Structure 1
């Protein structure tokens, strides 16, 4: 797909209902501004209130500008960092591309916030509980549920070391596949995941906006965002970079599949010439399994 076609496809989808909330430029505009902190507070309460044990009433945003550690960070990383009124630090990360290093990446992000906020000359008792929320556009973890929280536990007694680490994962594809219920029956967190997944039709999105005031405010903020020519251009450039990446990845995978098929065909011909039928059956089964996995994870 050429640049003009990519641009047209993205621009055609530029309206409040169709705009991608996982686009980092738009996400930061909605969730990283002090004038819209009520939206951020509502989302954080939806995810964190059960583990925090209390409602978040206020927050202030922390600096998030950091030098990217790699080329990957330029495409997939977004920080919205804040300090809660009760002292905890929060780091929200949106990840749209799976580089197969997310488990270590999230530990790195968490550690940056946990350690870098410690004042010079302070002691370990001044460290604050730190929570990272990862909103993922791909599947990562083994559980079926779309939301999982990790911390440090004793594997034998299940005793938790302390409350200083929480790593939350919201896997949007699992939500899309697993939640089959009307919007009115969804929990607050499910409604937020429906918002980020962005798979509903227009009437469903209107119902979603009516069901949650903060989500309605997020849609209103999107309308404001789209009125700014410079912000629209940044959004388009970001979407084009993502689409170019996915297109290149799909092409590489297709070329890899063709090479694998060629190797498979040559091997079968050799085995046929040697009349090794048992080996042919085993290899055919392995090949069917491989293709099944390819379709499962790349469709």
Structure 2
């Protein structure tokens, strides 16, 4: 086990950003993220499980949910796996936080506070391959800001490849530390920013109590199980897809000509076959991950959030 905790685990992420004793870290990170826009001087953690307004509504569960000293709501999440409707899910969460600001009575006139969503993602958001994607509401023609009440920031961690010495801003220093924390032997950047000394204290594995160490190890095991399941599903899906695609590619290629047809057919068939195989493998991986998380005591709602499976599918396992 490394010197510092793994921030990609559920326990590790909330240990860093989601507890009162480390509130200073979240404030510092958000200020570095929003540098030049605004300054947060204090925040309050809210219940991260937001009950539905109506019984038939889907429950919303966030990693971290807080409000600033001036009333803005901020949702912070670490997402390790891609989902088909991930963008829509992020929008749903922010919309939910906006709607719940409504106050009964005629005196309230839609005076809502801004809602921010900060999403650390351990995958690529889309084909644009951007480290940071900022989403705001603007006029399509003029580009002028239409409303500042909704803001989404996606940080694609795999796209950050700077070394320690190449980091120039405090935001880059944060991303470097989060990306490399579990493998670091020392906490860098303490000379540039005092908050990294506080971070070092929080994330030192040896400073954990026996109870917290057990919780952390369980969280690490769940994370490793997830990675192993992903690798297995991708490998199995690729192998099955390769065989199926290879056969179809040859058949189609021969029809168009021995030399040119085989070359082109194999290429296209393999590509489609691998895609089909991976898709099948991912479906199997979802159920395997759900079983692992269920064995660790996670609720059906939490498993539904992680895997994207329906409540019926999860409860049938």
TM-score > 0.5, shorter chain as reference: yes
Which residue matches 1:110? 94
1:182 to 162, 165, 170: 165
Asked whether the 8 Å contact 1:96–1:137 carries over to 2, the reply is: yes
If the length of structure 1 is used for normalisation, what is the TM-score? 0.77
Give 1:202 deviation, angstroms.
3.6
Q: Which of 251-260 and 41-50 deviates more?
A: 251-260
Q: Deviations over 1:1-42 (max 9, x none)?
A: xxxxxxxxxxx23x22xx212222122223222333221110
1:48 to 10, 34, 38: 34
Q: Which of 135-144 and 217-226 deviates more?
A: 217-226
Give me the whole-angstrom Cα distance separating, in 2, the residues matched to 1:273 and 1:283: 8
| Structure 1: gaps (5+ residues) | 1-11, 295-299
2:226 to 240, 245, 265: 245
Pair 1:129–1:262, CA change in 2 (3 A): same
Matched, 1:283 2:269: no
If the length of structure 2 is used for normalisation, what is the TM-score? 0.73
Matched, 1:24 2:10: yes
**What secondary structure is seen at the aligned counterpart in 2 of 1:81?**
strand
Matched, 1:222 2:203: yes
Pair 1:28–1:117, CA change in 2 (3 A): farther
Going by fraction, where is helix more abundant, 1 or 2? 1
Q: Deviations over 1:140-191 (max 9, x none)?
A: 1343431121012222221222100000011111112xx35615x5201101
**What secondary structure is seen at the aligned counterpart in 2 of 1:163?**
strand
Asked whether the 8 Å contact 2:245–2:272 carries over to 1, the reply is: no
Pair 1:221–1:126, CA change in 2 (3 A): same
Give 1:93 deviation, angstroms.
1.0
Give 1:94 deviation, angstroms.
1.0
Asked whether the 8 Å contact 2:46–2:67 carries over to 1, the reply is: yes
Which residue matches 1:161? 146
Give 1:192 deviation, angstroms.
0.8
| Structure 2: gaps (5+ residues) | 53-58, 277-317
Asked whether the 8 Å contact 1:26–1:225 carries over to 2, the reply is: no
Which residue matches 2:83? 99
- Larger RCO: 1 or 2 (CA < 8 Å, sep 6+): 1
Q: How many residues align?
A: 268
Which residue matches 1:65? 49
Give 1:129 deviation, angstroms.
0.6
Q: Deviations over 1:239-263 (max 9, x none)?
A: 2122212222222222222222222
1:147 to 132, 149, 167: 132
Give me the whole-angstrom Cα distance separating, in 1, the residues matched to 2:73 and 2:182: 32
Give 1:115 deviation, angstroms.
1.7
